[in-house]
Structure 1
Amino acid sequence: MEFIIARSQDISAIKIVKTSATLIGLALLLASCSSKPPKSLVTPLPPVSKQPLPGKSAQSHEPVRGVWLATVSRLDWPPVSSVTASSPAARISQQKKALTDKLDKLQSLGINTVFFQVKPDGTALWASKILPWSDTLTGKIGQDPGYDPLQFMLDEAHKRGMKVHAWFNPYRVSVNTKPSTVAELNNTLPLHPASVFVLHRDWIRTASDRFVLDPGIPEARDWITSIVAEVVSRYPVDGVQFDDYFYTEAPGSTLDDNLTFRRYGHGFASKADWRRHNTQLLIEQVSRTIKQLKPGVEFGVSPAGVWRNVSHDPAGSYTSGAAAYDEAYADTRLWVQQGLLDYIAPQLYWPFARKAARYDVLAQWWAEVVKPTHTRLYIGVALYKVGEPSKSEPDWMISGGVPELKKQLDMNESNPQIQGTILFRENYLNQPQTQEAVSYLKRRWGNAG
């Protein structure tokens, strides 16, 4: 989750029901890639976008006390050391134990929902027929890890009474564009499945010094939807979440979609409007596909905390931070208003005292946005800043960050529109600088004994 706050850290489903075979057949049709062989799983999905959304999911909704567990670059899991274990059996054992140890600790802290990153880039942490296995597991893209991490996570979390939301980064293909990365991606060509990088080279662009999919290409959006459909159809996930990666650019590394705009952008006043339309289409398509496959699976997005600043839009917040609408081309407020999301989890990674983007100002703004809707509001909190020295945000250092964290949790738990808190991210629960805050969380949420 890297759009504004964590960019510097380089973060950057289920026993098959009777109808699922039919549904998977509809959702995961084969189509030839534009460059002829090899073939790729792409989704000419049923025309779900023209049908009304079913009613909201019937899950019980106790307040969410959640945590993001990142797998990109092995930030939270699996352990880096496991990849060089003495044998596959040792690696599997180490990875499984690391995960169950984490779940035990999360359970003791009162965490009830894990947002598990199953698609960190163009690879998968489940047995996919569309994506190659993630190299985070074995060190090599496409190498079978010898077990199914998503199924293992689901089994172990559910055993502990915890929910799991499958967290997808929709468009990222790689975390860098190094020659070695290009070689690794090209080496997947003989695999089944191979990387989208070699199957659909014409979909690939460079942005923020990473390989990404071009969101303006309809077939690329269909492909992403097919990936979500595969997980929802096959695994007992409790939810699906997209992070803030839609259009992501850096000043020196922008996404060149001029040709795509010329091809698909007719009728739009600006490229920005067209880009927002593309993101809207993806959200609509994924939302309706999930509800057709399994209405009880929740769909949510965790966007950058600022929708728009009031200086750009009278409906915006009294902030001056980078805005999702203008920089990620994501009209997150509209998705709430249209009922496309079961929940929204804005990343409010600032303290009360940060004038450019005050925590309380943004939390209240989002509370007002969801108030007339059925969309639930969970707030993403910056655990990664707790205890860290900062000239612009010194509050995170005072008494181990506990007073600031307490203020944020007090607000979240006293506002009836805010129905949960999600901590970013899991491994910061294990760092020396956060231990006062972790003890506080255990007293507040968990079992101090």
Structure 2
Amino acid sequence: MVRMTRRRFTAVGAGAVTALGLFPGAGRAADAGTPTEFRGVWAATVANIDWPSRPGLGRDRQREELLALLDSAVKRRLNVVLLQIRPTADAFWPSRYEPWSEFLTGTQGKDPGWDPLDFAVREAHRRSLQLHGWFNPYRIANHTDPGRLVPSHPARKHPGWAVPYGGKLYYNPGLPDVRRFVQDAMLDAVFRYDLDGVHFDDYFYPYPVAGQEFDDAAAYRRYGGKFSDRGAWRRDNIDRLVRETGERIKRRKKHVRFGVSPFAVWRNKATDSRGSDTRAGVQTYDDLYADTRKWVREGWIDYIVPQVYWHIGNAAADYATLVPWWARTVRGTRVGLYIGEALYRQGDPSQPAPWQDPAELSRHLTLCRRHREVGGNVYFSARQVRDDPIGAMARVVGDHYPRRARPPR
């Protein structure tokens, strides 16, 4: 099966905020009759997918574009924006650890002349939106040449930390110094800004590339002696990242929620009887070394957003199979379950017939509401929420979001 993940890839006036009667305080207070539901949108900055529309725009234009995305979330009665602020070992704030992102100015390390994260937090909260900082832990660059990185980049100062693989450059998750560094780099934003959440996406060890091997043999020889095989060692490396990150967040800011949006198939049932009745070509446990089920069962995260990016009836990975599997997985835990939705597929002529029907996503929410464990949905991505080319998002709002909702805390 072809891998299905979100990475393949007119502003609404502020009056809309007033018109919807939104409550103050970034969703932290509301009248007693307001429902609680996670209604999120991913705003991607890598390769300028959603924002800014291209690198090198002036400060005022960048601000206008960001406000347009926030206002479109308000218009659609969403309440959480997951803003990608560390897409490739870089930063959308004046980081103490990593350079300014090239997706802001076109030149890595160049100061854009303003603080996008401070602005985003303040403007999101003004609109009663939660803002979760979305981080990619290990991706350094969408190329393999360290010489293209700014000279002060940590990957150039510590060349042994970096591994080229599949046309990209990654930090090696098997090195304890790397694990501590990426935590420090990400938590710099968490501790300095009023973020409501910390969000990891689906990249841990990279997606497998045929005929290539992720070269961590030296790190395995040095640190993997007590493990039965390299796969078990790799999973432990990612387990440590997730567990330690969650612990560090709670020590400093108990109210900040920690979530992950993994590829939706933990393991196929044919591989593991506890897995989902799917036939996916990628399994997070075996291929990305991310034991997402364990993180839920151990309570290391506050919420999980599996990317269930298939239509109802898909032969290899049926939406109607995966949602109840995830509902059973979180049952009896305190981990929130919100389903990731492939809004970007709606109306795409390369997609099968169900995605040409504007009602497909609305049917997804109808199915989700049959499972009490499902506490909401998240849409990829912000540009599609704003532009809504075939009206699928408007259909969701009309069918399922008749009024505002409080995000879970």
- TM-score past 0.5 threshold: yes
Instruction: Find the aligned partners of 2:294 and 2:169 in 1 and give their Cα distance.
Output: 28
- Partner of residue 12, structure 2: none
The yes-or-no answer on 1:332 pairing with 2:315 is no
The yes-or-no answer on 1:210 pairing with 2:174 is no
- Partner of residue 234, structure 2: 275
User: Alignment identity in percent?
Assistant: 37
Q: CA deviation at 1:430?
A: 4.3
**Letter of the structure 2 residue corresponding to residue 215 of structure 1:** P
When residues 170 and 294 of structure 1 are mapped into structure 2, their CA distance, relative to the original with a 3 A threshold, is same
Q: CA deviation at 1:5?
A: 2.3
Please show how residues 126-141 of structure 1 align to structure 2 within 5 Å: 126-141=93-108
- Partner of residue 96, structure 1: 63
**Letter of the structure 2 residue corresponding to residue 423 of structure 1:** Y
**Letter of the structure 1 residue corresponding to residue 391 of structure 2:** E
Query: Which of the residues 105, 113, 116 maps onto 2:83?
Result: 116
**Letter of the structure 2 residue corresponding to residue 239 of structure 1:** G
Instruction: Find the aligned partners of 1:151 and 1:3 in 2 and give their Cα distance.
Output: 35
More helix by share: 1
Runs of 4+ in 1 over 3 A off after TM superposition: none
Q: CA deviation at 1:441?
A: 3.0
Q: CA deviation at 1:120?
A: 0.2
Instruction: Find the aligned partners of 2:204 and 2:270 in 1 and give their Cα distance.
Output: 23
Q: CA deviation at 1:157?
A: 0.6
RMSD across aligned C-alpha pairs, in angstroms?
2.0
Query: Which of the residues 43, 60, 73 maps onto 1:106?
Result: 73
**1:50-101 per-position Cα deviation (integer Å, ceiling 9, x unaligned):** xxxxxxxxx7892111100000011100021x61x5xxxxx00000001111
**Letter of the structure 2 residue corresponding to residue 415 of structure 1:** H
**1:198-238 per-position Cα deviation (integer Å, ceiling 9, x unaligned):** 12111000122100000000010000111232112110000
Instruction: Find the aligned partners of 2:38 and 2:403 in 1 and give their Cα distance.
Output: 17
**Letter of the structure 1 residue corresponding to residue 100 of structure 2:** W
For structure 2, the 5+ residue unaligned runs are 10-27, 30-34, 405-409
- Partner of residue 27, structure 1: none
Query: Which of the residues 196, 208, 221 maps onto 1:238?
Result: 196
Please show how residues 254-293 of structure 1 align to structure 2 within 5 Å: 254-293=213-252
Query: Which of the residues 111, 120, 123 maps onto 1:156?
Result: 123
**Letter of the structure 1 residue corresponding to residue 6 of structure 2:** A
**Letter of the structure 1 residue corresponding to residue 183 of structure 2:** T
Instruction: Find the aligned partners of 1:314 and 1:281 in 2 and give their Cα distance.
Output: 25
Please show how residues 14-413 of structure 1 align to structure 2 within 5 Å: 62-80=36-54, 83=56, 85=57, 91-177=58-144, 182-185=146-149, 188-189=150-151, 194-248=152-206, 249-321=208-280, 322-390=282-350, 393-398=352-357, 401-402=358-359, 404-413=360-369
Instruction: Check conservation: 2:313, 2:320, Cα contact below 8 A.
Output: no
Instruction: Check conservation: 1:141, 1:184, Cα contact below 8 A.
Output: no
Instruction: Check conservation: 1:306, 1:323, Cα contact below 8 A.
Output: yes
Instruction: Find the aligned partners of 1:446 and 1:110 in 2 and give their Cα distance.
Output: 8
- Partner of residue 6, structure 1: 6
- Partner of residue 380, structure 2: 424
SS class of match (1:173): strand
Instruction: Find the aligned partners of 1:430 and 1:107 in 2 and give their Cα distance.
Output: 10
Instruction: Check conservation: 1:121, 1:173, Cα contact below 8 A.
Output: yes
Instruction: Find the aligned partners of 1:5 and 1:95 in 2 and give their Cα distance.
Output: 27
- Partner of residue 21, structure 1: none
Instruction: Find the aligned partners of 1:226 and 1:307 in 2 and give their Cα distance.
Output: 28
For structure 1, the 5+ residue unaligned runs are 10-58, 86-90
Larger RCO: 1 or 2 (CA < 8 Å, sep 6+): 2
- Between 437-446 and 124-133, report the one with greater CA deviation: 437-446
Instruction: Check conservation: 2:69, 2:386, Cα contact below 8 A.
Output: no
Instruction: Check conservation: 1:109, 1:446, Cα contact below 8 A.
Output: no
**Letter of the structure 2 residue corresponding to residue 211 of structure 1:** L
When residues 99 and 3 of structure 1 are mapped into structure 2, their CA distance, relative to the original with a 3 A threshold, is farther
**1:246-303 per-position Cα deviation (integer Å, ceiling 9, x unaligned):** 0013224431111111111102111111110110011111010000010110001110
**Letter of the structure 2 residue corresponding to residue 104 of structure 1:** D
